[in-house]
Amino acid sequence: MTQFLPSFPLHTTPLISFAFILLLGFIAGELVKYTRFLPKIFGYIAIGFLIGPDGLNIVTHSLLVNSKIFIDISLGIILFELGRHLDFSWLRYDRALLPTSITESGLTFVLVFLVLHFFGLSWLQAALGGTIAIATSPAVVMTVAYDLASVGPVTRRTLILTSLNNLFALVIFSFLLPISNAHNLGILNIFMHIFYRLFGSMILVICLLILMKLLARLTGKQKESQFILFLGIVLLTIGIASILNLSTLLTLFILGVAARNFDHEHLLMEVNFGWLARIFFILLFVITGVYLKLGTVSNIIWIALTLIFIRLIAKITGLFFVGKYSRLTKKQSLAISFALTPMAGVAIGMTTMLTDFNPNFGTQLNQIISFVIALLTIIGPVVTQLAFLKTGEAYPMQTEGRYNE
């Protein structure tokens, strides 16, 4: 009689999870718009936190499992885009740009390392903490810049410095990760692991770049076709890197760098992921909010606040002392330093990778870094937005209808 009815209890599908997260994020983002000073990202993260375990706790395990694929795609697009911001020709002509990045990244690493070591973490844990702290959140910087229609030297420099500090973080992380499991792996295995992850990624990138250029040659330089090509290649990279146990983040980043710098025949176009990226970014930020761990023990709060403070000092120092050789004004240096504040997706990715790789390694480090990420995920977008607004590069009135173009 009732065969036509669905079987009970009802089961959620990945599609429902997708729609649920997207719509919640969308509503929160629109509500936040009315504050006029908070970026939309803040709304996405806040709603995620609200439905997460530390909030109303209405997120089911299946929703989180189903959303993993979306997170991977979001991070993939971001890392690929980020890699495309790293243009070697700029580094060649502005000789202070790379030293600026090395200084701000190096200082961040050293200062965070020292603080964590001072608070009792082992040198390896402290080094991993320092490494994760180097990276600025590319998703936040890119989304804020896009939402504000921010264009200009400060925005562009923030993006290339984000690109560089993510590169440093990902490479150092690839070295430190196997060492964190040294007693199980042995020295030879550690080296083989590092070698495999770094060179494996590079070889895969070479193959994918050849494929990409070949297809681009066939399809020509139409925006629509290259959009599909880029997206297809990003998805393929995520898939193959996972199968081969390579770092998807690092591989996609290098692919982006290669697509920017080794396309001498100019076969590839500048593709704007636009609407599609926005959908994935909303998902990413809502899920980031779900994972935020704000409840913590009091002694960690002070360590975390110290880390955030010295991280900012490191970035300001790098920009002021070396950035001046790029002939930046003081206002520009300060704005870039603050704009580099956010930490989110990539840092979470690295922390998760660390826990997955060696679940027994550094519970305290995990707690500290998670709390720092939580704070910087919340404060970061606001600070970045303020930095872009203060330089006069942001022009929020121009954002209407931009995705249609």
Partner 1 sequence: MNKLSPFKKNSALTLGVELELQLVNLHNFDLTMESEDFLRRLTEIPHPGELKPEITKSMIELNSSIHFSFPSLIDELYILKNVLSNEAKKTHIGICGGGTHPFQKWKQQRIFPTERFAHVSELYGYLAKQFTVFGQHIHIACPDGDDALYLCHAMAHYLPHFIALSAASPFQQSVDTSFDCSRLAAVSAFPLSGTPPWVLTWEKFEEYFEKMIRLQIIDSMKDFYWDIRPKPEFGTVELRICDTPLTVKKAAELAAYAQALCYWLLETRPVLSRDIYLTYMINKFRAARYGLNAIIVEPGKPQMPLAENILKTCETLKPYAEKLESASALLSIEAATLANTNGAHWLREQYNQSKSFSDVVRQQVELWTK
| Three-class DSSP category at 181 | coil
Using the minimum distance from each CB to partner 1, give the nearer residue, 66 or 162. Answer: 162
Residue 73 and residue 280 in contact, taking contact as beta carbons nearer than 8 Å: yes
In this chain, which stretch among 51-59, 151-159, 301-309, 360-368 interacts with partner 1, using CB under 8 A? Answer: 151-159
Write down the least CB distance from residue 267 to partner 1, Å.
10
Member of 227, 320, 361, 395 binding partner 1 (CB under 8 A): 395
Minimal distance in Å, beta carbon 325 to partner 1?
11
Euclidean distance between CA atoms 28 and 53, whole angstroms: 18
Q: Which of residues 2-31 bind partner 1 (CB under 8 A)?
A: none
Residue burial 62-92, b: 16+ Cβ < 10 Å; e: rest: ebbebbeebbbbbbbbbbbbbbbbbeeeebe
Q: Are residues 289 and 49 in contact, defined by beta-carbon separation less than 8 angstroms?
A: yes
Residue 21 to residue 292: CA distance in whole angstroms? 16
Give the footprint of partner 1 on residues 88-107 (CB under 8 A). Answer: 89-90, 93-94
> Does 327 help bind partner 1 (rule: CB under 8 A)?
yes
269 binds partner 1 (CB under 8 A): yes
Q: How many CB atoms lie within 10 A of CB 217?
A: 11
* Contact between residue 71 and residue 283 where contact means Cβ atoms under 8 Å apart: yes
DSSP class of residue 6? P
Nearest CB to partner 1, comparing residues 175 and 227:
227
Per-residue binding letters, 330-349, with partner 1 (x by CB under 8 A): --x-----------------
Q: Which stretch binds partner 1 (CB under 8 A): 57-65, 309-317, 327-335, 349-357?
A: 327-335
What is the C-alpha to C-alpha distance for residues 132 and 128, in angstroms, rounded to an integer? 6
Q: Please give the full DSSP string across 117-161, using - where no structure is assigned.
A: HHTT--HHHHHHHHHHHH---HHHHHHHHHHTT--SHHHHHHHHH
Which of 17, 51, 79, 84 is close enough to bind partner 1 by CB under 8 A?
Answer: 84
Q: Which is nearer to partner 1, 54 or 87 (CB)?
A: 87
207-236: contacts with partner 1 (CB under 8 A):
220-222
Contact call for residue 262 and partner 1 (CB under 8 A): no
Q: Which residues bind partner 1 (CB under 8 A)?
A: 84-85, 87, 89-90, 93-94, 149, 151-153, 156, 220-222, 260, 266, 269-270, 272, 326-327, 329, 332, 392, 395, 398, 405
